[in-house]
Structure 1
Amino acid sequence: MKDATTIFGIRAVIEAIESGETIDKIFIQKGLSGELFSELKRTLSKGNFNISYVPQEKLYKLSKGNHQGVVAKISPIAFKGLEETVEPILAKKEAPFFLLLDQVNDVRNFGAIIRTAECCGVDAIIIPEKGAAPINADTVKTSAGAVFKIPICKVSHIKDAVFYLQSSGIQTVAATEKTNDLIYDIDFKKPSAIIMGNEAKGVSHSILKTIDYKAKLPMHGEIASLNVSVACGAFLYEVVRQRI
């Protein structure tokens, strides 16, 4: 069975995958077994899917019928490949502008970030296949439709995207409190990519070791951090300010 964004039932999920639907996330009941489930596993082994193993109660909340232990979320957009997206942008623009999200997993934060990124002229957003917020009705609504206006690429690992962008002459800048350097000290007139991190953990340590610059926003209050969508907006608009 299927509604606007959800498929449930093992056979329905298998058929959706085989027909080329853009599957955003698959929820599988813990301990599931059986011949049909084995067929599903064989189908999943042919691709790289974002899978969560969850209690049965979670599936009842996600579906409206007999889920058979499996629920899948369909993305309302088709995700782009990294190279097929980046290469034409590099060919057309002297100073391209990319945004990488390292496991931002709240759909409303994600939607708000997409909206701001579109307003700031970001050329493409890059997210990981696993650990990122899904693009669902809440994401679309919070983005005010911007999700349909900006390319969103999915990659196996954000670190690989960082290496690829660096090899293409793009400076990579991570938003992190683990530095003394302010965002205002970075020259964003150059081709640039900004990396924003997970709501709780920030940009992962492995990525911080690979990027070109770390930068933070000045904080004068007692609270030590900003919401990631707010911080992202401040970073993106610093790029806009410098390029005006």
Structure 2
Amino acid sequence: MSKLEIVYGIRPLIEAIRSKKTISKLFFQRGFRKISNAYKELISLSKKENIPIQTVPKQKFYQLKNKNHQGVFAILSPIETYQIKDLLPVFYEKGKNPLLVILDRITDVRNFGSIIRTSACVGADAIIIPKKYTAMIGSDSIKTSSGALFKVPICQEKNIKNTIEFLMNSGLKIVSATEKSNIYWYNIDFSGPTALILGNEEKGISPKYLEISCEKAKIPAIKGISSLNVSVACGVILYEVFRQRKSQSKIHF
């Protein structure tokens, strides 16, 4: 499914959620409220599944103006998503040296797509994103990633902190890319199982994730420039991982 798929109407959306369809975002029309048991059920299911919800003006419903949308529609994700607890054992069983990328609230679609493309190029095994506060998985991110979204498994997790702790307990080194460090990225050992955390474009990595990270990787910049664009920082660090692992993984150029 390469194009965006839209589902509208309360009952169809309830069934989509129950059927475990991957929903990128749920949109409610501002000022349009039809309180009913079905409406309440939709809200309850959305919260239970941690589906991102956004209230938008009626102009967003223009393409559905002749449809019985009941003031709500959703965009289904064009790709299948996973949970890392299901994939990680498979990586180890296959003898892989896992390399994971964790995106903490990356909201810009272009950065999101670029990071996924770079991750695919260096052979990352999975991308981990939160269910909320992240760029939408859709046609724009597919285009920006040059199709790499179909090549790297995307894991959507309800609780990133719990996910990080699970990865640490599973033998992965957690490395945060942040200027709040005195250790340069090339002085960190990436040869073993690793998860790299990249933070929000404006606020960086959440303090609670920095606190539990095994290492913090700094990329220096000249005075007056606080930090690199997150997708550029991703490329710099991932290619250092690639360089360190090159002799081990029989990579051919």
Q: 1:141 and 1:55 mapped to 2: Cα distance?
A: 25
Deviation digits for residues 207-229 of structure 1 (CA, Å, limit 9, x no counterpart): 11111011111212632222111
Deviation digits for residues 29-80 of structure 1 (CA, Å, limit 9, x no counterpart): 356341142232244355231222x24246336x543543212111011111
Which letter maps to 1:34?
I
Q: Which residue of 2 aligns with 1:233?
A: 235
- Tell me, what secondary structure is at the counterpart of 2:165? helix
Task: Please tell me whether the aligned partners of residues 30 and 58 of structure 2 are also in contact (alpha carbons under 8 angstroms).
Answer: no
Pairwise CA RMSD: 2.0
Task: Please tell me whether the aligned partners of residues 8 and 71 of structure 1 are also in contact (alpha carbons under 8 angstroms).
Answer: yes
Deviation digits for residues 185-216 of structure 1 (CA, Å, limit 9, x no counterpart): 10011211100001111100111111101111
Q: 1:45 and 1:243 mapped to 2: Cα distance?
A: 41
Aligned counterpart for 1:194 among listed residues 174, 193, 196: 196
Q: Which residue of 2 aligns with 1:59?
A: 60
Counterpart mapping for 1:178-217 below 5 A: 178-217=180-219
Q: Which residue of 1 aligns with 2:23?
A: 23
Give the drift of 1:7.
2.3
Give the drift of 1:6.
2.3
Task: Please tell me whether the aligned partners of residues 56 and 69 of structure 1 are also in contact (alpha carbons under 8 angstroms).
Answer: no
Task: Please tell me whether the aligned partners of residues 59 and 70 of structure 1 are also in contact (alpha carbons under 8 angstroms).
Answer: no
Counterpart mapping for 1:39-118 below 5 A: 39-52=41-54, 54-57=55-58, 59-60=60-61, 63-65=63-65, 66=67, 67-93=69-95, 95-118=97-120
Which letter maps to 1:51?
I
Give the drift of 1:138.
0.4
Task: Please tell me whether the aligned partners of residues 29 and 61 of structure 2 are also in contact (alpha carbons under 8 angstroms).
Answer: no
Q: Which residue of 1 aligns with 2:249?
A: none
Which letter maps to 2:13?
V
Q: 1:46 and 1:197 mapped to 2: Cα distance?
A: 26
How high is the sequence identity, in percent, across the aligned residues?
45
Q: 2:96 and 2:40 mapped to 1: Cα distance?
A: 50
Q: 2:47 and 2:173 mapped to 1: Cα distance?
A: 35
- Residues paired across the two proteins, number: 240
Task: Please tell me whether the aligned partners of residues 59 and 69 of structure 1 are also in contact (alpha carbons under 8 angstroms).
Answer: no
Q: Which residue of 2 aligns with 1:219?
A: 221
Counterpart mapping for 1:128-207 below 5 A: 128-207=130-209
- Tell me, what secondary structure is at the counterpart of 2:90? helix
Deviation digits for residues 53-112 of structure 1 (CA, Å, limit 9, x no counterpart): x24246336x54354321211101111121111111122235211110011111111111
Q: 1:84 and 1:18 mapped to 2: Cα distance?
A: 20
Q: 2:59 and 2:182 mapped to 1: Cα distance?
A: 43
Q: Which residue of 2 aligns with 1:34?
A: 35
Q: 1:171 and 1:237 mapped to 2: Cα distance?
A: 17
Q: 1:167 and 1:39 mapped to 2: Cα distance?
A: 37
Deviation digits for residues 136-157 of structure 1 (CA, Å, limit 9, x no counterpart): 0001111111111111111112
Distance 1:12 1:215, change over 3 A: same
* TM-score between the two structures when normalised by the length of structure 1: 0.90
Gaps of 5+ in 1: none
